[in-house]
Amino acid sequence: MDKKMISENGETTTADGSICGYDSLHQLLSANLKPELYQEVSRLLLGRNCGGSLEQIVLPESAKALSSKHDFDLQAVSFSADKEQMRMPRVVRVGLIQNSIAIPTTAPFSDQKRAIFDKLKPMIDAAGVAGVNILCLQEAWTMPFAFCTREKRWCEFAEPVDGESTKFLQEFARKYNMVIVSPILERDIDHGEVMWNTAVIIGNNGNIIGKHRKNHIPRVGDFNESTYYMEGDTGHPVFETVFGKIAVNICYGRHHPLNWLAFGLNGAEIVFNPSATVGGLSEPMWPIEARNAAIANSYFVGSINRVGTEVFPNPFTSGDEKPQHNDFGHFYGSSHFSAPDASCTPSLSRYKDGLMISDMDLNLCRQYKDKWGFRMTARYEVYADLLAKYIKPDFKPQVVSDPLLHKNSS
């Protein structure tokens, strides 16, 4: 395979030992397989949308120029739906932004935040001139992902829902007629200044539609975020916008199928998953969980992961027997979209900032509800009964034992 090879753990590596992402593997196979075999591999890796491959979107030269000048990955593909006789197509253009931090974590906090704003401005402009209707940023985009250092000084990055970052994004929302999902570290001024991991939904008129707070908080290795905030209290809201019904499943919530389900039961057509996750922890799960959620719940999923390695001034430990260290590992980017028909886009770079754009016909959501009948066959009452029993202290699992299992041992 020329200068690239598959390592023992399944990752694709180059001759110099650097790791390639899922999309790089796809490109590698394209270059090394016969066309007919590549088409079959592509079908298995990326699925088929309405029986065919996803089509590339031709973007304005101004968007491409911003990508070239500011060195960020730019990809754009289109999902289709079958034509219907009684409904017009409901095509919406959606964008995801992944980015690294802009300056070292040792810099003054105000400088760090401003540098991230400056870095994102041309990327948001690119989304705007490309006609993106709904744009989602990554988890805690205004700051380094410092939560698991357990140092309280990083709390200074917290801000109210109508704070500096929201005001910054409201200008773009109004300028480009664009809904923006902004995940921040929220400081709840009205309730004792407690903090939450929150996504703010900014309407296309620059108004604040609402917010959602992260439902599931990890306590895994370095990612023990309960030092800063606890599980959210906003339920599973779906936000009805002029472009469609959207929801936000923040980061660790993607590991919980019931979390995905609840957004679907509330009517979501697109669910965003803004994240901050590193290669050694979750990368094998990354292309699977969101895609499965899109299939099982008949909606589109936009998966966003930050990119780069963030090094902190003071070493920390994680309680998992690893020696103290100054970083979490590499945030592997790889942002992408998944559709209810099991098709998905290639991913953005594993190493670079990037903007992923997709046109999606929301009619596909109902079409696949009709085709697979998952809602009709779900048997919710059976699981409601089990869950109602499970949460009680006297719950006993429904286990039927072989009567001979313990007889011989007595």
Which residues are identified as catalytic?
139, 214, 251
Interatomic CA distance for residues 153 and 112, integer angstroms: 14
Residue bearing tokens 């939450």: 196
Instruction: Give me the residues paired with residue 210 across strands.
Output: 201
Is residue 44 packed enough to be buried (19+ CB in 10 Å), middle (13-18) or exposed (0-12)? exposed
Token pair listed for 365: 């959501």
Can you point out the beta strands (E) in 24-108?
Answer: 55-56, 73-78, 91-98
Contact between residue 279 and residue 324 where contact means Cβ atoms under 8 Å apart: no
CA distance 155 to 147: 9
Nearest CA among 249, 272, 214 for reference residue 94? 272
In the β-sheet with 19-20, what is the strand arrangement from edge to edge? 5-6, 12-13, 19-20
C-beta of residue 186 within 8 angstroms of C-beta of residue 195: yes
Measure the CA–CA gap between 47 and 26, rounded to whole angstroms.
Answer: 13
Q: What is the DSSP letter of 375?
A: T
Phi-psi region of 212 (alpha: psi -120 to 50; beta: other; left: phi over 0): beta
Distance CA(213)–CA(237), nearest Å, equals 10
C-alpha pair distances (Å), 179 with each of 162, 301, 328, 344, 359: 15, 16, 32, 23, 15
Q: How far apart are CA 87 and CA 367, in angstroms?
A: 11
Sheet of strand 239-241: strand arrangement: 239-241, 244-248, 270-275, 300-305, 336-338
Q: Contacts from 366-372 at CB under 8 Å and sequence distance 24+? A: 366/298, 367/81, 367/82, 367/84, 368/298, 368/340, 368/341, 369/298, 372/298
Element (H, E) at 364: helix 363-372
Q: Are 337 and 303 in contact (CB under 8 A)?
A: yes
DSSP 323: P
